[in-house]
A = this chain, B = another copy of it.
């Protein structure tokens, strides 16, 4: 079964596809072979995807997750699900920062993604419309480029640092970049690990019910 297992994480800007141990990022939905399981945070993209893959199964209805957070995104649930204790950072269109303690979700924070920060600065003034640079958080910025980089990358780092001194797990497009500042472990397939765990739990559960 594992050979034909295909997992899809439908985000706000991309489709992330896990297939044969590889991750593909696609701007458009793809028609997929095999047993397709998916999660989605974007209804419009989900419809486009289901039009091509009508038999795909939404894992949202099967997942079990311990949290008192109202309306926690399914992608965040999946990223957190395989983490026992730690800070889970998913740096994509938005940057979500969630805290897990003994497989219980304690709460979380949402920040704009680095591209969203970049666009926000550009919209405020053409003078702030420039690429970020790597920053040194121990030195105060002395140029606009450094100042906006500190005010976005640095802000994300300061929020993460202010949380409990737990191990940090990072994923998402900017996860590896942020790891340089906050340390911890970058796990590219963190969301997919949660999806696989959900499938396994449901599988064991249906056997138990027999």
Contact = CB atoms under 8 A, between A and B. Distances in A.
Contacts of A143: 69-71
A141 B94 contact: no
Contacts of A108: 140-141, 147
Given A140-B106, A142-B69, A162-B158, A121 B125 contact: no
Interface string A120-149: 110111011000000001011111100110
A93 B124 contact: yes
Contacts of A116: 120-121, 123-124
Interface string A74-105: 00000000000000000001111101000000
A155 B71 contact: no
Interface string A158-172: 110110000000000
Contacts of A99: 140
A68 B140 CA distance: 11
Given A12-B124, A116-B120, 19 more contacts: A67-B142, A69-B141, A94-B124, A96-B147, A106-B140, A107-B139, A108-B147, A109-B140, A109-B150, A110-B144, A111-B151, A111-B155, A112-B117, A112-B124, A120-B120, A151-B159, A155-B159, A158-B159, A161-B162
28 contacts: A12-B124, A12-B125, A71-B127, A71-B143, A73-B127, A93-B124, A94-B121, A94-B124, A96-B147, A108-B141, A109-B140, A109-B147, A109-B154, A110-B147, A110-B148, A110-B150, A112-B120, A113-B124, A116-B124, A120-B120, A137-B162, A150-B159, A151-B159, A154-B159, A155-B156, A155-B159, A158-B161, A158-B162
